[in-house]
Structure 1
Amino acid sequence: MEDREDLGGISDCAYNKLDSQEELTTEEQEFFSNQQKQKVSVSLMIPKSSLSRYHQLIILAVFAVILLAVDIGLGVYYNKLTSGQRIFTDMNNELAKLQASYTTATQRKTEANKLLAKEMSEQQLTMWELEHQSRATKDFERRTNKIRLETAALKSHMPMIKEGCRHCLPGWTYMFSMCYYFALSDDVLRRSWQEARNFCMRYGADLAVVDTREKHLAISELITNYYDTSRNIYQSGFWIGLRDVEYEGTWKWLDGTSLAAGYWNDGEPNNQGNEDCAAAYPRSNPFKSWNDAPCNHGLKWICEMTAKTQS
C-alpha cells in the first residue's frame, strides 16, 4: 500500500509539475525549455554513437583481417625462411662433406705422390744399378775379349818368341831371319819418332824397314792381334823407319832406299801439320794401315836388328 502511495505521490508530483507549468515564470519556462532541448539532443545522439561504434567495429574487423593477412604472410615468409634456412643448412652440410672428401682425396693424393716418388726413386736406383751392372758386364766382356785375343796372339807369337830365344834378345821376336821388338805393353811409354829410334839403337838395332809384302803382312797381323779396340786408333800406331824429311813427298827408309810400294790409308800421306814420319796402324785391311804423322807425336814403335847366328 505504501508503495502504491509512493508511486501515486510521485505521479501526482509529476502530474502537478506538468500542470503547474502554466503557472511558471518566464525564467523558469526558459530553464525548463533548455532542459527539454538537452534531453532532445541526448536522445538524438544515441543513434550517432551507435553508428560510430559500428564504424569502429568495421575498422576493427578490417584491421583484424589485415592483421590476419599480415600474420598469414609472415607465416608464409617465415615458412620460406625456415625452408631456406633448412636448404642453406643442408647445403652447408653437403659443402662440409665435400670439403672433407676433398681433404681426404688431397691427403690420399699426397700419400700416393710420396709413394710414387719413392717407387720412382727405387726404380731410378735400380736403373742406375742395372746400368752399372751392364757397364761392368761390358767391361768384363771387353777384358775377356782382350785376354782371348792376347791369348790367341801369344799362341801365334809363341813359335817366333821360342825361336827368338835362340837368335834374339829376351822379349824380341824372330821373323824372316831378323829380330823384332814390338813395344806392345801398356807399361811402355809412347815416344817420339827420334826417341823410339834412340831406344832401338841402344840395343844395336834401328826402326824397322818394312820393304817386303810378307814382312808387312806379318807385322800388320801381329799389331792388329794385340790392338785394344777401346783405345783411339790414332794413339795405337807404331813408328817404322820411314820418313820424308829431306824432300817433302820423297819417302826413304833408314837404310837410304826409297819407298817402292807403300800401304797408305785413304788420303795418306797428306802432310797435315808437317807430318814427316810414317807409322803402321792396326787396321783390319792391312793394305791401308800406314799414316804420316808429326815426328814429335808420341807412339809405340817397332825395332829391327840382325839375328844372332846359332853357335
Structure 2
Amino acid sequence: MEMNEYKRAKSSIRYEKFDSDNSDYIWENNRTTASYQELKSPGRDTAGSRYYRLAAVCLGILCVLLLTAITVMCVKFKHLATQRDQRQQSYNNLTVEKEGLQTTHENLAREKDVLQTSYNKLSTDRDQLQTSYNSMKTERDQLKKEKDGLAIERDQLQTKNTNLTVERDQLQTRYTNLTIERDQLQTSYTNLTMERDQLQTKNTNLTIERDQLQTSYTNLTIEKDQLQTSYTNLTIEKDQLQTSYSNLTIERDQLQTKNTNLTIERDQLQTSYTNLTIERDQLQTSYTNMTIERDQLQTKNTNLTIERDQLQTSYTILAIERDQLQTSYSNVTNEKDQLKNEKDGLQNMLTVLETYNQQGWVYFGNKVYFFSTEKKSWSEGRQFCTERGADLLIINSREEQEFITKAFGSSEAWIGLTDTEKEGVWKWVDNSGLTTAFWWTGEPNDYDRNEDCAITGYKGAVSERVSTWADYPCDHPVVGLCEKSLTEF
C-alpha cells in the first residue's frame, strides 16, 4: 500500500518548448514528492503525507499552466505584431489616397469655377444676342410696314398705268377705225371726182373752175389727212368727209339734171370751200390741243415710268435687305442654338464630372482617371477597369504623363501597354502603336523572357521629374490605372 502511494506521488520529468525570435528554450523540472524512507518511517502521520503529495501535484499542474500561458502569449504577440504592420501599411495607403483625392477635389473645384465663368459669359452673350434679335425684329416689322405701304402705292400706280394703257389701246382702235373710214370716203370721193370730170367736159369754164375747186379741195383734203394724225380729230374728220360726200353726191345729181345748174354748184362749192377752210382751222386748233395733251400724257407716262423704275429699284433693294435680314436672323438663330447646345453639353459634362468625382475619378484633358487600390495582375487590372466602362491607361503625351505623376504619385501601376502578341512590338489596349514612350534607362529588357506588360511609376527612377516605365511580368501584382474618355459629352 505504501509502495503504491510512493509511485503515485513521484513526478516524472516534463519538457516544454516554444519559439521566440528563432531561439529554443528547454525547461526541465524534476521533483520528488516523497522519499521512500520518509514514508517507510514509523510514526508518520498518514494525513500529512497525503496533503504533501496533493500540494506537489497542484504545484506541477500550476507550472504546466504557466508554461502554456507563456506560449499562448508569445503566439498572440507575434500575431499582434503582424496586424500592426498590416494596419500601418493600410494607413500609409489611405494617406496616399487621401492626398490624391484632395488634389482631385482641388482640380475639380478649379475646373468648376472655370466652367461657371464660361457659363456666365455665355449667359451674357445670350442676353446680348436676344437684345439684338429683338431690335432686328422691331426694325424688320417697321421695314415690313414700309414695304406694305410701298406695295399699296405700287399697286395703285400699277392700276392707274393699266387704266391708261387700256384707254390708249381704245384710242388707238378708234383711230384705226377712223383711218379706215377716211380711206373709204377718200375712195368714194375719188369716184365722184371722176364722174364730175366727165360732166365738166361740156363746159370748159365750169371745168376750169371745178378743177380749181378740186385742186383746192384736194389740198384741203391733204391738210385734213395730215391733221387727222390725232385720234380724237378723226371722228370730226369722218363727219366732215361724210358731209363732203353728201355735197358731192348732190353736186353729181345737179350736174346730171341740168348743165345750167353748174353756176349754182360753183357757188355751193365755194361755200363748201369756205366751210372746209373753217373746218381746217378748227382741225388745226384741235390738232394743236391734242398735241399738247399728247405731250402732257407723254410727260406723265415718262414720269410714271421713272417712278415705276424707282419703285422697282426700291422694291429690289428692300427685297435684298429683307433677304439679308432673313439671313442674319437665321445666323443669329443658329448661333443661339449652338450656344444652347454648348451650354447643355457643358452642363452635362459638369454633372458627369461631379458624379465621377464622387466616385473617386480624376479629370484631365476631357478624360477621367481612376487609381485602383487593390494589387492585381495586368489582365485582372484591365478587367477591373472594363467593369467600370473604362480601360487601362493609354498615354499619348508628356503632359498626360506629368499629370499622372502629379495626381497619383510614383506608385507602380499597370498601364494599357503590352507586347504579348509579338516580343518587342509594344501596343496599347486599343491596338494602336507606341509613339510616345517614357521608358527608364535599360527598359524594356524582358528580364528572364517573362516581362510583357508595362507599368508606370518605376521605383528605380525616383530621381526623375516624371514617372517612367518598365516592363514587368503580367502576373505581378500591382495596382492599375483606369482611363475613360468623355468625348461623347
Q: How does the TM-score come out when normalised to structure 1? A: 0.44
Name the structure, 1 or 2, with higher relative contact order (CA <8 Å, separation 6+). Answer: 1
Q: How does the TM-score come out when normalised to structure 2? A: 0.29
The structure with more radius of gyration: 1
Which protein has the bigger helix share? 2
